[in-house]
Structure 1
Amino acid sequence: MRGDERDGAAPVTVVGIGADGWDGLSPTARCAIEDAQVLRGSARQLGLVPGDVPAERVPWPTPMGPALAGLPDAHPGSRVVVLASGDPMLSGVGASLVRLHGPGSVHVIPHPSSVSLACARLGWAVEETAVVTVVGRSPDLVAPHVSPGRRLLVLGSDGGTPAGVAALCTRLGYGASHVTALAQLGGNAEHVLTGSAAEWPHRVVDPLVVTAVEAVADAGTVALPTVPGLPDDAFEDDGQLTKREIRAVTLAQLVPLPGQLLWDVGAGAGSIGIEWMRTHPSCRAIAVEGHPDRVRRIARNAARLGVPGLRVVEGRAPDALDGLPAPDAVFVGGGATAPSLLETCWASLPAGGRLVANAVTVESEAVLAGWFARVGGELVRIGVQRAQPVGSFTGWRPAMPVTIFSVVR
């Protein structure tokens, strides 16, 4: 028995409908719509329902969010059916309603998704295809998924999405990629447009479109992985950058996990927070930085490297940490000697949270040694040497050693 049935409230039914409209619906979906007293959906979706269906038709307002939040109270005592494009649980209104009101308040009748239809047309295996939604979001989110030989489908909110994706691929050095726009999938007006990213000729296409990309790197393009340790020159910086080798070790100690939140304190170029978010689309990070120029630089780095959702807070820690959402992990890249900084970070962590702090000076190293003596964890010093010319020969030039303190609360 669903929770809604226990408390006597009728669930909202969400019915997926495709570009083929009424003819493509299952008998179960048709019955749900015919039995409805109120139909909610976009004007386009409501127009797909035959005129002899007696339900009151209420289009979504703009913005849509408040209407979704208030839906259970908007039509008391009425049987409400919400129309959704394709599979309501794939970046759709069904998933939004479940997040807002719980699974017991929503009954979903799905339809084949645009992803399934696109893969069927292209001959791609769904489980081998990356799916990125940029509906109401920045197209920069596609960037981490573009790598040689990768296949991806991009779900957009308008007919400019294919051109935007093609431009992004070209900027990343993947202008040779094959781009396909699949419009009106499953309907009578279904059609396909193809071209290379660099020479994509269609500025705007049908708004009901899925963009497919087969990524092909241009000559000389350096692929950027989602595992930690991007090349240093992938970041714009003023010298305040955790270098590649140290960054890889630091992120390994931070243990990025899906859905978790990182505080990157004294973020510099933002490299730690950015790489944390690149490990999984659900990873979140807040970069705290006191220098205005670096704050702007962090935002540029985050957008270019495909994590525009990185939150940047301008201010000096620990004061700037006040009121931030509780983290799952904290990285302190500089300023370990600042009064009460490590204490504030430590107190903000839940049980199982991770604190990692790096030091390059004797003074900050002494602070980390004190914490190691007090709470345990690991204290590691790493030295990196790079080969450089010495006259006509090659020698090793050492970088400043870095001490890394890591501990689980």
Structure 2
Amino acid sequence: MTINVIGIGLDGVVGLNESVRQIVERATVLVGSDRHLRYFPNHSAEIIVLEDILETIVEIRQHLDTPNSCIVVLTSGDPLFFGLGRLLVTHFPPEKLRFYPHLSSVQLAFSRLKIPWQDAKIISVHGRSMDELIQALQQGVEKIAVLTDHTHTPKAIASLLLALDLPIDYHFWVCENIGSEDERVQQWSIDEAKQEIFAPLNVVVLLRQSRIATNQSLDLANLPWLGIPDSYFCTYDDRPGLMTKREIRVLILAELGLQPGQIIWDIGAGSGSVSVEIARLFSDSTVYAIEKTAAGTSLIEENCRRFQTNNVVSIHGNAPDILHHLRPPHRIFIGGSSGKLRNILGVCGMRMLPGGIIVLAFTSLENLHTALSWVEERKKSDRSWNYRLLQVQLSRSIPIANLTRFTPLNPVNIMIISR
């Protein structure tokens, strides 16, 4: 005997083709939620209301051995797409199951938006945590479809987006009751979504936009002088998390021991967040922002225009080679080295002015070991070299439905070298 698992949409019976309707009509056992069973109010089959899934599976198994029985299980959309089908295949042999998928809610959502979705990230927070969604947002995934529930609602997702303080923007679409007569598909601002009450059956679609900061002017007079929020910086479209985070940036600036009128090297400057912070604090200093990628150099220049800093010199080049052509520095920050850390430190050690400070930020133990061994070698011939280490492990609070939890930033090792 076969269990027929039939996907059904919010359009009900009219959305089923004739052959599938006939299977439902022949059913001697009809299984489904209250909502699905209401599509067949006068059916003569034995009705099993799907409430406790394990109890329902036991009841289905009891009917499998009944001669001439026809078991039909009704479920939403595609049964094998975040649906009941994945549980059925773990409890019944494959030969006992036959699936008749309907269009999934995600498929319908993207068709309404008229957007290709073969590259979309599909995430279910239905009865699950938001960890996967948080990771996707922090990585800047371009297209995200979220299957929600009564706790992880569009409102909760909007609150999460605000709390993450992303350096990119997402267009926020909510597709409600999709496929039914009262379907509503609409884009909302994050603030609007936090206030709106949505239908229980909905899909949230998040579409990443390019460099939100570029098109929005800043109120520079009201910006903090120290610790600019990450979201104010232009950053990489495909890697928005690739920047020195605000909390780490503040520590780095403190450890550099900056003074007015200095020359600062920012090696591996990325999008230029550290350079911009220094330039705003000390307008009479000169910051050389060295970045090997053209994309990074473009971002540095864009951020300098955005924050109206004219004392950052953006340099597209490779360290250590380019360092020989720069004015000797009082302070050096190394945020990236592309596997050339020892050589970069060698040039920095020769060219740094007396009383200088080098601050390095590492995420890998290998780079930390390289820097430690380099300092130890210097100390053998010059005991004036010293270093200190900070290991920074920070977490930011984020809302999870009506609760609050911490999400960690990547651990960072900060090394301060002085002579």
Q: For this structure pair, what is the TM-score category when the shorter chain's length is used for normalisation?
A: 0.5 to 0.7
Distance in 2 (CA, whole Å) between partners of 1:52 and 1:21 is 14
Partner of 1:126: helix, strand, or coil?
Answer: coil
Quote the sequence identity (%): 26
1:321-374: CA deviation from partner (whole Å, max 9, x where unpaired):
xxxxxxxxxxxxxxxxxxxxxxxxxxxxxxxxxxxxxxxxxxxxxxxxxxxxxx
| Structure 1 segment 70-149 matched on structure 2, within 5 A | 71-73=60-62, 76-77=65-66, 78-146=69-137, 147-148=139-140
1:62-118: CA deviation from partner (whole Å, max 9, x where unpaired):
x42443365322564132111010111100011210122232221100101111101
Count of residues in correspondence between the two structures? 251
| Structure 1 segment 28-107 matched on structure 2, within 5 A | 28-49=19-40, 51-61=41-51, 63-68=52-57, 71-73=60-62, 76-77=65-66, 78-107=69-98
AA at the equivalent of 1:153 = A
Distance in 2 (CA, whole Å) between partners of 1:150 and 1:171 is 19
C-alpha deviation, 1:270, in angstroms: 10
Partner of 2:185: helix, strand, or coil?
Answer: strand
| Structure 1 segment 271-350 matched on structure 2, within 5 A | none
Question: Are 1:184 and 2:161 counterparts?
Answer: no
Q: For residues 225 and 20 of structure 1, do their structure 2 counterparts lie closer, same or farther at Cα, with a shift above 3 Å needed? A: same
Distance in 1 (CA, whole Å) between partners of 2:413 and 2:108 is 52
Q: For residues 126 and 53 of structure 1, do their structure 2 counterparts lie closer, same or farther at Cα, with a shift above 3 Å needed? A: same
1:301-322: CA deviation from partner (whole Å, max 9, x where unpaired):
6x5679xxxxxxxxxxxxxxxx
1:214 aligns with 207
Match of 1:244 among 359, 363, 385: 363
The answer on whether the counterparts of 2:7 and 2:79 sit within 8 Å (CA) in structure 1 is yes
The answer on whether the counterparts of 1:69 and 1:100 sit within 8 Å (CA) in structure 2 is no
The answer on whether the counterparts of 2:33 and 2:50 sit within 8 Å (CA) in structure 1 is yes
Match of 2:188 among 168, 187, 195: 195
| Greater alpha carbon shift after TM alignment, 92-101 vs 208-217 | 208-217
AA at the equivalent of 1:110 = P
Distance in 2 (CA, whole Å) between partners of 1:19 and 1:56 is 23
The answer on whether the counterparts of 1:158 and 1:208 sit within 8 Å (CA) in structure 2 is no
2:153 aligns with 161
The answer on whether the counterparts of 1:176 and 1:198 sit within 8 Å (CA) in structure 2 is no
Q: For residues 64 and 385 of structure 1, do their structure 2 counterparts lie closer, same or farther at Cα, with a shift above 3 Å needed? A: closer
Q: For residues 54 and 94 of structure 1, do their structure 2 counterparts lie closer, same or farther at Cα, with a shift above 3 Å needed? A: same
AA at the equivalent of 2:162 = T
Structure of larger gyration radius: 2
1:162-196: CA deviation from partner (whole Å, max 9, x where unpaired):
11111111111248421111011111111123212
AA at the equivalent of 2:178 = L
The answer on whether the counterparts of 2:108 and 2:179 sit within 8 Å (CA) in structure 1 is yes
The answer on whether the counterparts of 2:140 and 2:238 sit within 8 Å (CA) in structure 1 is no
Distance in 2 (CA, whole Å) between partners of 1:71 and 1:84 is 15
The answer on whether the counterparts of 2:392 and 2:413 sit within 8 Å (CA) in structure 1 is no
Distance in 1 (CA, whole Å) between partners of 2:413 and 2:29 is 69
C-alpha deviation, 1:125, in angstroms: 1.3
Partner of 2:44: helix, strand, or coil?
Answer: coil
Distance in 1 (CA, whole Å) between partners of 2:174 and 2:15 is 22
Q: For residues 245 and 215 of structure 1, do their structure 2 counterparts lie closer, same or farther at Cα, with a shift above 3 Å needed? A: same
Q: For residues 59 and 18 of structure 1, do their structure 2 counterparts lie closer, same or farther at Cα, with a shift above 3 Å needed? A: same
AA at the equivalent of 1:164 = A
1:187-222: CA deviation from partner (whole Å, max 9, x where unpaired):
111112321224424443111111111135632387
Q: For residues 104 and 98 of structure 1, do their structure 2 counterparts lie closer, same or farther at Cα, with a shift above 3 Å needed? A: same
2:331 aligns with none
The answer on whether the counterparts of 1:39 and 1:81 sit within 8 Å (CA) in structure 2 is yes
Q: For residues 123 and 186 of structure 1, do their structure 2 counterparts lie closer, same or farther at Cα, with a shift above 3 Å needed? A: same
2:13 aligns with 22
Distance in 1 (CA, whole Å) between partners of 2:121 and 2:112 is 16
The answer on whether the counterparts of 1:140 and 1:168 sit within 8 Å (CA) in structure 2 is no
Distance in 1 (CA, whole Å) between partners of 2:76 and 2:173 is 20
Q: For residues 141 and 245 of structure 1, do their structure 2 counterparts lie closer, same or farther at Cα, with a shift above 3 Å needed? A: same
**Structure 2 unpaired stretches of 5+:** 213-230, 249-361, 369-390, 395-403
C-alpha deviation, 1:53, in angstroms: 2.8
| Structure 1 segment 356-371 matched on structure 2, within 5 A | none
Q: TM-score, normalization: structure 1?
A: 0.52
The answer on whether the counterparts of 2:4 and 2:99 sit within 8 Å (CA) in structure 1 is yes
Partner of 1:92: helix, strand, or coil?
Answer: coil
AA at the equivalent of 2:47 = R
Question: Are 1:390 and 2:400 counterparts?
Answer: no
Partner of 2:126: helix, strand, or coil?
Answer: coil
| Greater alpha carbon shift after TM alignment, 14-23 vs 190-199 | 190-199
| Greater alpha carbon shift after TM alignment, 157-166 vs 65-74 | 65-74
Distance in 2 (CA, whole Å) between partners of 1:300 and 1:75 is 46
Partner of 1:91: helix, strand, or coil?
Answer: coil
The answer on whether the counterparts of 2:363 and 2:413 sit within 8 Å (CA) in structure 1 is no
AA at the equivalent of 1:214 = L
C-alpha deviation, 1:35, in angstroms: 0.8
Q: For residues 109 and 244 of structure 1, do their structure 2 counterparts lie closer, same or farther at Cα, with a shift above 3 Å needed? A: same
Partner of 1:127: helix, strand, or coil?
Answer: coil
